[in-house]
Structure 1
Amino acid sequence: MFRITEDFPTFIRRYPVTTLIVGICTILMIITTFMGGYNINTIAQLGGYDKQLINRGQIWRLLTYAFGHMSYAHFFLNMPFILIFSRPLERILGSIKFLLNYVYMSVFASIIIHFFSDYPIPLAGSSGPGYGLLGMYIFLVLKHRNKFPTYDKRFIITFTVMGFIMTFLIPGISISGHIGGFVGGILLSPFVFKKQKDLEFSISG
């Protein structure tokens, strides 16, 4: 389910939204490099979450933060995460619906950050929607466990547990963003996954 077997042209054709998300993040990483690297100014200039600026009307930052990152390590950690977990859901939902769900989870996570944290510097990263993807998988594993191979269920649960252990142990991580994305993915899932026959076909394919 999670193993990438397609060549590059086939991957782009099958998963255009996943490719677009990773492509935008990569372009912003390159632009950040030419602007002098990751720092408070470049993160803010490239659409990072900033509570004061949002309160002044720059509400687009509730979405654009999800395509930038805080460091090169942050970028290279998140991109495999997005590549692995986006593909099956884009295949199940279709590209347009998956894109809408990704936007929703990005905004949901940033709204939780906005109202439940006072992070002192601009924030950026795809972890919020990434944890939203994990929330969707957890919902599916709990409700449709018979449709997942054992190793896929084990992988999802293990990755989720390890992700939250890292969330609470590593300094500087936006706990509210991770929890917000995760909860947003769970809350969205009952409205998204209604056709069990299509779900079974897509997961097993």
Structure 2
Amino acid sequence: MFLRTEKSVKEFIQSYPIISTLVIINISIWILGLLPITFFDRLYDLGVGSHFDIQNGEYWRFLTPIFLHGGFTHMLFNSFSLILFGPALEQMLGRLKFILAYLGAGVLANIATFLLNPDLGFAHVGTSGAIYGLFGIYVFMVVFRKHLIDAQSAQIIVIIFIIGLIMTFIRPGINEYGHVLGFVSGFVIAPLLLTKARPFNPWKNPHSNGPKDIQFNPNRWKKKNFFQRLRLNPFFIFFIIVLIIFIVQNFF
């Protein structure tokens, strides 16, 4: 479910338009935030999940923090997580239900954070709550809908979720409420969204090169060097960039 079979960014965008749109929005808003324009700074301030402002009736702040990030690394890691774990759910749920799952988990996490955290000085941004909501849906599958997820993918989900949960509480500057409550929100709404869902099929998308496209390859036995193998997957390059930035910012 999490092994990408798309051979180009264009093919990925065509196969998963909702995921692609969300990632483009994340990147675009981050780029706009770099511009020395007061108007964009004001828009960013209006979107932050400020508990003080929510207390004063600005309820749109339950939604807008989902599209804002605290920096380049924050945006990049969340976007990469969306690219890695979102496609299977977009196909299984359908576009409308996936949007409801993503935004619903994010909004519910922000509402729960506001209700459970009485600190009016608290403010947050990031799509982590929505992404952990996707994890909540996957974990619900692992527990109650085993026919929708293969054993290997189930193990990956459980391991990554446990690691993510541990990192949530040991790394500074993380909205623990958003992560935990996002997961709970996704788990709670999962039974409603998974109605009529079918197991993920990597060849189902019309833009993917499935078995119908398999042809004899005269070079199939020819060994490829390391760099030729990496070139087959454009998302590997994206992952390497994220990894380098993370190492630089945390160890140098």
Q: Structures share a fold, TM > 0.5?
A: yes
| Partner residue, 1:99 | 99
Give a deviation string over 1:70-90, Cα, whole Å, max 9, x none.
122211221111111111000
- Identity among equivalent positions (%) equals 32
State how 1:149-160 maps to structure 2 within 5 Å: 149-160=150-161
Q: Alpha-carbon deviation of 1:203?
A: 7.8
> Given that residues 131 and 179 in structure 1 are in contact (C-alpha distance below 8 angstroms), is that contact kept between their aligned partners in structure 2?
yes
Question: Which letter maps to 2:145?
Answer: H
| Partner residue, 2:115 | 115
> Given that residues 141 and 153 in structure 1 are in contact (C-alpha distance below 8 angstroms), is that contact kept between their aligned partners in structure 2?
yes
TM superposition score normalised by structure 1: 0.88
Compute the RMSD of aligned alpha carbons: 2.1
5+ residue gaps, structure 2, are 205-252
Question: Which letter maps to 2:199?
Answer: E
Q: Which stretch shifts more, 71-80 or 59-68?
A: 71-80
CA distance in 1, matches of 2:144, 2:107: 25
| Partner residue, 1:4 | 4
State how 1:1-205 maps to structure 2 within 5 Å: 1-6=1-6, 7-35=8-36, 44-45=44-45, 47-117=47-117, 118=119, 120-195=121-196, 198-200=197-199, 202=201
SS at 1:194's partner residue?
A: coil
TM superposition score normalised by structure 2: 0.73
Q: Alpha-carbon deviation of 1:55?
A: 1.9
Question: Which letter maps to 1:17?
Answer: I
Q: Alpha-carbon deviation of 1:144?
A: 2.6
SS at 2:63's partner residue?
A: helix
CA distance in 2, matches of 1:91, 1:184: 20
Structure 1 ranges of 4+ moved more than 4 A: 41-44, 201-205
Cα gap change, 1:157 to 1:42, in 2 (>3 Å): farther
SS at 1:171's partner residue?
A: coil
CA distance in 2, matches of 1:143, 1:8: 34
Cα gap change, 1:168 to 1:201, in 2 (>3 Å): closer
Structure showing greater radius of gyration is 2
Number of equivalenced pairs: 199
